[in-house]
Amino acid sequence: MPIKTIIEPFRIKSVEPIRWTTREQRLQLLRQAHYNLFLLPAVDVLIDLLTDSGTGAMSTHQWAAVMEGDESYAGSRSFERFRASIQDVFGYRHVIPTHQGRAAERILFGVTCKKGDVVPNNTHFDTTRANVEFAGAEAVDLVIPEGRQPALAHPFKGNMDVAALENLIDRVGRDRIPLAMLTVTNNSGGGQPVSMENVRHVGKVCRRHGIPLYFDAARFAENAWFIKVREEGYSDKTPKEIAQEMFSLGDGCTMSAKKDGLANIGGFLCTNNDRLAQQEKDLLILTEGYPTYGGLAGRDLEAIAVGIQEALEEDYLRYRISSTAYLGDHIAAQGVPIVQPPGGHAIYLDARAFLPHLPVEQFPGAALAAELYLEGGVRSVEIGSLMFGPAAQMELVRLAIPRRVYTQSHIDYLVEVILEVWRNRERIRGLRLTYEAPFLRHFTARLEPVD
């Protein structure tokens, strides 16, 4: 029987109530939050799509493993299980736990980068870029040109431009490039995947020049699924086999286990380089903790050990990716401009095309995000001029889907809310700033509607 309905491959054992508010209440709340959704109390949000990071639901197996947490300071059994699970998938010699992804980034760039160095990536995530720059190096984004055009469909829009990588190496010299990175999937580029062919190609160039290749693996399982369904020769392979093959083409990774680790906190850093691993562990002890816990509780290590494996299950990935695509396809079919094709963890609305009557100075992304909250209690995040200032290349609103949290009826509700806002788009007013912090202003900015 052909099954059209997307059903969640799990049943629900524990529920967390979410709260309705009236439109009048939401208007009041929006004013109190100065039209900045970061400033809203989470209890007043009905569907929270601010991020897919740390917001997932754990499984019964994960909760059972939590009870097995060994809280010994050194050499705990939980660390042994954590390392075994990660090595099974990633295959790297050294596994270093950290409290989340950015801690792994800080340690990696702290030991590998110095002033004047250059780090290429398909697209650096914000914290990745900030940590490269904090180490004195330059972060260069080399995604293929297709990856910069929101409306253009391409199966692997997260791919790195290999010719641009070779040019960069020629221009600055191998000695100034301590490592290259691939972010799978490419979050800042719309959650778009990288193909195995591209990984192989980038790996070959790196190897020829003696440059280590690292993965920002936060959404590695979703990337593996896209390879399975979109790349020739992979349909018969399991997501795990695909992930194993991909990681075998590199030398290490950073990981935020808050995404495809299916955990609420945690991360890790992997490398095959013994000397580097020693330096990284020395730094880890200074700021995170002893190398067998790295700032996490034993129970967190257990949750990640199980989560890494569950994130690769086919039923889960099929549901996950089709549910995100369902949201994107249903709104796009009515004309709503989105980044195409739908990404793995999120749908990105193109606010400039959605609200062409608003100039960029009036923050179309923030105005659209505020309207989605007003209409349906939905919280999203602006990725545009409010976040990046004049450097913003696009005005996007990200709807990030937490893992295993919302059901298909929640997704249908989201479609209704977005289409209602789309129908009334001409009435949406722009916003202006009344307060901004000197850096990372989007977290605390205050705004008000323009008359």
- Binding residues among 279-338 for ligand F0G as defined by CB under 6 A: none
* Nearest-approach distance from CB 437 to ligand F0G, in angstroms: 18
Q: Which residue has the tokens 């509780």?
A: 297
Query: Applying CB under 6 A, which of residues 112, 187, 195, 264 lies at the interface with ligand F0G?
Result: 187
Task: Return the structure tokens found at 324.
Answer: 């995100």
* CA nearest to 383, candidates 399, 362, 365: 365
Least distance to ligand F0G, CB of residue 381, Å? 7
Looking at residues 88 to 117 of the shown chain, list those that interact with ligand F0G (rule: CB under 6 A).
Answer: 100-102
Annotated catalytic residue within 38, 61, 88, 126: 126
Q: Which of 38, 137, 34 is nearest to 440 (CA)?
A: 38
| Least Cβ distance, residue 111 to ligand F0G (angstroms) | 18
Q: Which of 52, 216, 300, 350 is catalytic?
A: 216
* Residue with smaller CB distance to ligand F0G, 51 or 380: 51
Is residue 267 near ligand F0G by the rule CB under 6 A? yes
Quickly tell me which residue has 């979410």 as its tokens.
18
Residues 6+ apart with CB under 8 A from 219: 184, 185, 187, 191, 259, 260, 344, 345
Q: Among 78, 121, 128, 380, which residue interacts with ligand F0G (rule: CB under 6 A)? A: 128
How far lies 184's CA from each of 8, 24, 136, 167, 214, in Å? 24, 41, 24, 23, 11
Nearer to ligand F0G, 30 or 218 (CB): 218
125 a catalytic residue: yes
- Tokens in use for 411? 């997704």
Q: Which is nearer to ligand F0G, 212 or 295 (CB)?
A: 295
Phi, psi of 410 (to 5 degrees): -65, -40
Containing H/E element for 437?
Answer: none
CB of 321 to ligand F0G, least distance (A): 17
Q: What are phi and psi of 117, to 5 degrees?
A: -75, 165
Is 412 in the active site? no
Site for ligand F0G in 237-256 (CB under 6 A): 256
Q: Which is nearer to ligand F0G, 169 or 199 (CB)?
A: 199
- Active-site option among 92, 125, 220, 363: 125
Compute the least distance from the CB of residue 7 to ligand F0G, in Å. Answer: 27
Q: Which is nearer to ligand F0G, 129 or 352 (CB)?
A: 129
Is 268 labeled as catalytic in the residue annotation?
no
In whole angstroms, give the CA distance from residue 196 to residue 200.
6
Q: To the nearest 10°, the Cα dihedral for 331, 396, 374, 376? A: 30
Nearest approach in angstroms of CB 175 to ligand F0G is 26
- Residue from 117, 216, 251, 382 touching ligand F0G (CB under 6 A): that is 216
- Which range in 124-132, 150-158, 281-289, 416-424 contacts ligand F0G by CB under 6 A? 124-132
343 touches ligand F0G (CB under 6 A): no
Q: Is 216 helix (H, G, I), strand (E, B) or coil?
A: strand
When asked if residue 223 is in the footprint of ligand F0G (CB under 6 A), the reply is no
Residue number with CB closer to ligand F0G (128 or 340): 128
> CA–CA distance from 230 to each of 146, 152, 236, 332, 342 (Å)?
17, 16, 12, 21, 13
3-state secondary structure 31-48: HHCCCCHHHCCHHHCCEE
* Position 127 contacts ligand F0G (CB under 6 A): yes
Q: Does 125 bind ligand F0G (CB under 6 A)?
A: yes
CB of 423 to ligand F0G, least distance (A): 29
Q: Give Dmax over CA atoms of the chain in angstroms.
A: 62
CB 53 within 8 A of CB 401: no
**At closest approach, how far in Å is the CB of 16 from ligand F0G?**
20
| Cα separation, 429 vs 451, whole angstroms | 8
Q: Which of 53, 159, 223, 271 binds ligand F0G (CB under 6 A)?
A: 53
Nearer to ligand F0G, 26 or 258 (CB): 258
Question: Which among 294, 231, 229 is positioned nearest to 267, based on CA atoms?
Answer: 294
Q: Does 380 bind ligand F0G (CB under 6 A)?
A: no
Please tell me whether residue 258 binds ligand F0G under the rule CB under 6 A. yes
Of all residues in the shown chain, the one whose CB is closest to ligand F0G is 101
> Which residue do the tokens 């693996």 mark?
217
State how far the Cα of 288 lies from the Cα of 274, in Å rounded to an integer: 20
Cα atoms found within 13 Å of the Cα of residue 65, Cβ hemisphere only: 26
Structure tokens at 267: 């991360």
Catalytic site positions: 73, 125-126, 216, 218, 259, 442
Residues in touch with ligand F0G (CB under 6 A): 51, 53, 100-102, 125, 127-128, 183, 187, 216, 218, 256, 258, 267
